[in-house]
Amino acid sequence: MRLPSRSHTRTRRAVALAAAATLVTGGATGATNGAFADPDDRAGRDRAGQDGFYTKKTPTSRGYGGAVTSVDPEASRVGVRVLRNGGNAVDAAVATAAALGVTEPYSAGVGGGGYFVYYDARSGKVRTIDGRETAPFEMPADAFVNERTDEPYRFFPELVTSGVSVGVPGTPDTWDVALDRWGTLSLGQALRPATAIARDGFLVDKTFRDQTRDNKERFDAFTSTRRLFLPGGHAPRVGSVFRNPDLARTYRLLADEGVQAFYRGPLARQIVRTVQDPPKTRSTDLPVPPGFMEIGDLKQYDALTQPPTRSDFRGYDVYGMAPSSSGGSTVGETLNILERFDIADMRRIPALHHYLEASAFAFADRGRYLGDEAFVDVPLADLLSDRFARERACRLDPDTATKKPVPAQDVDDYDGRCGGGSDSGRSERDTEGVSTTNLTVSDRWGNVVEYTLTIEQTGGSGIVVPERGFLLNNELTDFSYTEGPNHPNQIDGGKRPRSSMSPTIVLRDGKPFLALGTPGGSTIITTVSQLIFNRVDRGMSLPRAMRVPRASQGNTTAAYGEPAFIERFGAALEDYGHEFAAIEELGAATAIEFRRGGKLVAVSEPTRRGGGSALVVREQR
Ligand code: GLU
């Protein structure tokens, strides 16, 4: 067993009365009235649609005084009400995330993890929280090999639906740390609106029903999951009301007893039991390998506050997540490579060629160097340096696509003039799911939160903790367990698997210009890069940058392309040597742009994942 080398201590807040917090934090970030008018009040769902449920989707909103954008109307609504009631961006982000845990339970929730990026208006600084799920300390490097057969477990069905892939959840602690450091509400106050939705229910939409049906076999494999998500043996109908009273109770437990009620005590013991001995139904054929989690793993979990990555891109400062996520360094490197070219003056096809190539180079380096920094030395300074980007750009042929996979660049051997050495090119096996969810929040004081959270696969491990109303993640499948023992993202006890999550805040002259993020597994990196490329290099408006078709080149022979992308640009890019594989859609992004005079442009997806909901506090100044 090896313990992580970094440690993190902090004082958990005892009683966080918002009014008291206001006194401490002052007017710049504090809530004014300290609480919600009455967040449990259904009448609060004003301007709601059918039966009082808030279902209206608004892909773009323009206005002032703060904004919330997420994939879900109920969740965005919760966040914007927190802002209107005097909460700050951190309060609203936690409240929105908690609501997503109810309405998007297959993408995120207290059984998972994520990354939280925060711009603090008062100090002008960007801070981050790494709330990544962590491997149990006793998890061996060969945990994904079946002891009985000596054969590696298959990804489907063994690893995806298993106890062995469940990492120690980081989301509850992320919420607690965020509120404790920068919020004005207590955890209990921030959880209240989501608790009401869990108790009273939300309207099932097509996405929820489809996701339930796609997971039917594995949800049916667990007594707890079947009971919650397959009432009467079937996926809930579109338009029916879905209630989760168990989750409402779990949220109330956290509200009453604090986050330690998750990491120690009866709930923690129950999580451990569920991981070690998943509650399989008698009828299932799924193997469901058990996991290694113990109570000590939960007790020792800490969400980590840490500095962001930073890179400059055409006069903007781009802040992202440092390892354990590969998001910040890979988005940063992609943009740094693009910066070496005059993309704005190019026609569309050559510009897209450069985008695809830059991303393949950055992915090669990600595969070679990125892992949990507590266990491996990640050469972040090299990967994000302009000299390194110059070296990489030397290999980008403006007229021809490089043969994929491209090799990684040796970080000990580069001079920025193409003199350096590289290893042999190899693609990594990509097993990251394409679930997850993302939200962007800003407040009237100018604070900004970009937060991506996940349980990995859509439906996570498929295992609901009995009578607690939430799914456990299968995040440990993000380890690179097929890449050999020396890979920086190899399994290790106490280690965090490398992520692609890329919540990003872009500043101009020290002030927010753009905040953005998305789900999508490894394509998160390319979608965030492409959005910035569209907005900054191609000069698109943010709604248009969001709408146009996407492609993702993660250093594989064929890049993923949305059908509309392939239809419009595929043939011309194939002339350069690019290859494409069609994928239905890439990402479900959210973003806010900060314009002059305090104007906000809040954007969510018009159609991807059923369309999102971007709301502003006020439409008029
Ligand atoms: N597990 C993935 C990651 O950490 C996220 C999965 C997704 O976005 O769907 O990068």
**Which of 116, 331, 437, 454 to mutate for ligand 1's pocket (most ligand atoms within 8 Å of CB)?**
454
Confidence of residue 53 (pLDDT cuts 50, 70, 90): confident
108 lines ligand 1 (CB under 6 A): no
593 lines ligand 1 (CB under 6 A): no
324 lines ligand 1 (CB under 6 A): no
Beta carbons of 301 and 494 less than 8 angstroms apart: no
Token pair 């840490």: residue: 306
Q: How far apart are CA 154 and CA 44, in angstroms?
A: 48
Which residue has its alpha carbon closest to ligand 1 atom 1?
Answer: 456
Question: Does the structure show a pLDDT above 90 at 23?
Answer: no
501 lines ligand 1 (CB under 6 A): yes
499 lines ligand 1 (CB under 6 A): yes
Written as six digits, the tokens of 572 are 């011309």
Q: Please report which helix (H) or strand (E) contains residue 198, including its range.
A: helix 187-200
Report the DSSP beta bridge partners of residue 313: 316
Written as six digits, the tokens of 315 are 């006069």
Q: How far apart are CA 354 and CA 350, in angstroms?
A: 6
User: Smallest Cα–Cα separation from 413: which of 475, 356, 368?
Assistant: 368
480 lines ligand 1 (CB under 6 A): no
Which residue has its alpha carbon closest to ligand 1 atom 6?
Answer: 521
Question: Does the structure show a pLDDT above 70 at 21?
Answer: no
* Distance between start and end Cα atoms, the chain: 57
Atom of ligand 1 nearest to the CA of 132: 4
Beta carbons of 179 and 187 less than 8 angstroms apart: yes
User: Smallest Cα–Cα separation from 177: which of 8, 29, 34?
Assistant: 8
Report the DSSP beta bridge partners of residue 203: 241
Q: Give the global pTM.
A: 0.93
User: Smallest Cα–Cα separation from 221: which of 529, 463, 44, 416?
Assistant: 463
Question: Does the structure show a pLDDT above 50 at 5?
Answer: no
Confidence of residue 38 (pLDDT cuts 50, 70, 90): very low
Distance from residue 49's CA to the centre of ligand 1 (Å):
32
Q: How far apart are CA 175 and CA 95, in angstroms?
A: 9
Residue in 69, 402, 436, 518 annotated catalytic: 436
Confidence of residue 485 (pLDDT cuts 50, 70, 90): confident
What pairing do the DSSP bridges indicate for beta strands 241-242 and 309-313? unpaired
Beta carbons of 85 and 617 less than 8 angstroms apart: no
pLDDT, tens digit, 9 for 90 and up, residues 338-351 = 999 999 999 999 99
Distance from residue 432's CA to the centre of ligand 1 (Å):
6
User: CA distances (Å), 303 to each of 125, 170, 306, 347, 592, in order?
Assistant: 19, 6, 10, 45, 26
Backbone phi, then psi, for 533, in 5-degree steps?
-60, -45
Would you call 386 helix, strand, or coil by DSSP? helix
**Which of 461, 479, 481, 524 to mutate for ligand 1's pocket (most ligand atoms within 8 Å of CB)?**
524
Written as six digits, the tokens of 101 are 């845990």
Question: Does the structure show a pLDDT above 60 at 30?
Answer: no
Confidence of residue 387 (pLDDT cuts 50, 70, 90): very high
Distance from residue 122's CA to the centre of ligand 1 (Å):
32
Q: How far apart are CA 512 and CA 531, in angstroms?
A: 16
73 lines ligand 1 (CB under 6 A): no
Distance from residue 502's CA to the centre of ligand 1 (Å):
10
Written as six digits, the tokens of 301 are 């979990």
590 assigned to active site: no
Would you call 440 helix, strand, or coil by DSSP? strand
Three-state SS string across 540-603, please?
A: CCHHHHHHCCCEECCCCCEEEECHHHHHHHHHHHHCCCCEEEECCCCCCCEEEEECHHHCEEEE
pLDDT, tens digit, 9 for 90 and up, residues 279-295 = 999 999 999 999 999 99
Give the chain's largest Cα–Cα span.
67
**Which of 456, 457, 458, 481 to mutate for ligand 1's pocket (most ligand atoms within 8 Å of CB)?**
456
